Chains A and B, each alone.
Chain A
Amino acid sequence: MVGALMKVQVVVMPKQSVLDPQGVAVRNALKDLGLGTIDSVRVGKFLELEFKTPPDEAKLEEVCRDLLSNPVIEDYTIRRS
């Protein structure tokens, strides 16, 4: 495991209260392609961060809140591998 990098995955999704026109367009396309039972789609972002040593947890939360997401319109979740 020499040189193995620690991966942190950040998922950023539009809040439920925010209209996601992209999700609606993708939903409609999926329906057209025959996925008839599709109800809704929401489109978000997936970021993979690699670290040589584990990040400072407080700093990680801070950058997720201030840069990687916009709390007015998005929620984020952090996953660690």
Chain B
Amino acid sequence: MKIAVVQFPGSNCDQDCLRALREGLRVQAEYLWHKQTSVFGFDAVVLPGGFSYGDYLRCGAIARFSPIMRAVVRAATEGMPVIGICNGFQILCEAGLLPGALIRNRSLHFVCKPVWLRVETGETPITAELKGKNVLRMPVAHGEGSYFADEATLDALESKRQVVFRYADESGNVTPESNPNGSMRNIAGICNEARNVVGMMPHPDRAWDRKLGSEDGILIFGSLVEALEPVVSR
């Protein structure tokens, strides 16, 4: 099993993702440069956080057209797990792999702080094996993380159980106070209809070791690994 971490010019959480996979989980993970045109040999793709192409025009707008994204879109359509974190989530929305968009935080401030997430569905590669935990702790760090979609799209996401995470309090109550950016319906992460493409604004890659303040992020990556290798890991 091998997991790709895509590097765009301006990615800055690529190393965090790679270390979480290699050191946190002892699985094979390699960088994939944005100019590559294939994901051949990989079993899953992680699009890390950062400021791809300087976030020029809109976050993820230019990264979406980079050569590797054509291969990622193709692989995603064929069922490969694709996980977008922060800027990776923005890229997945721009690429049309996930519905909606991420717009400027309602406060206009860059928000960088730990948040609580309520897990809304176990039916995705990154939430299937969370060891019974349904409220997770990890940081957000973004200026454009306010999830927006029209009402019809939001209703469709709810009815098809595509909302994966919501901002909540420590007990898992979804409250306005726990929403760090003005996201509609407190949405922090969603998946596509086929459930293999998942985007989330919070950073599991910054919460995979006790030294980082939380280990909950390793559950996210660990779930992905178990989804890829169910027999070996059980």
Contacts and interface: CB of A to CB of B under 8 A. Distances in A.
A46 to B, nearest CB: 13
Interface string B71-115: 000000000000000000000011000011101111110000000
Nearest to B107: A21
Interface residues of A, number: 12
A8 to B, nearest CB: 16
A25 B109 CA distance: 12
Given A19-B182, A21-B182, A67-B61, A72 B106 contact: no
Contacts of B57: 67-68
A18 B103 contact: yes
Question: Which interface class (under 10, 10 to 19, 20 to 34, 35 or more) fits B?
Answer: 20 to 34
Nearest to A73: B101
A53 interface: no
B8 to A, nearest CB: 16
Contact of A70 (B58, B62, B108): B58
A40 interface: no
B148 interface: yes
Contact of B150 (A14, A17, A19, A21): A17
A11 to B, nearest CB: 14
Interface in A54-79: 67-68, 70, 72-73
B33 interface: no
A67 to B, nearest CB: 6
A66 B117 CA distance: 32
Contacts of A18: 103, 148
Nearest to A25: B108
B65 A67 contact: yes
A73 B108 contact: no
Given A67-B61, A67-B65, A68-B57, A22 B148 contact: no
Contacts of A72: 93, 99-101, 148-150
Given A19-B103, A22-B108, A72-B101, 11 more contacts: A17-B150, A18-B148, A19-B182, A21-B104, A21-B108, A68-B57, A70-B94, A72-B100, A72-B148, A73-B101, A73-B148
Interface of A: 14, 17-19, 21-22, 25, 67-68, 70, 72-73
26 contacts: A14-B103, A18-B103, A19-B106, A19-B146, A21-B104, A21-B105, A21-B107, A21-B108, A21-B182, A22-B104, A22-B108, A25-B108, A67-B57, A67-B61, A67-B65, A68-B57, A70-B58, A70-B101, A72-B93, A72-B99, A72-B101, A72-B148, A72-B149, A72-B150, A73-B103, A73-B148
Query: What 3 A-B pairs are tightest by C-beta distance, nearest first?
Result: A72-B101, A73-B101, A21-B106
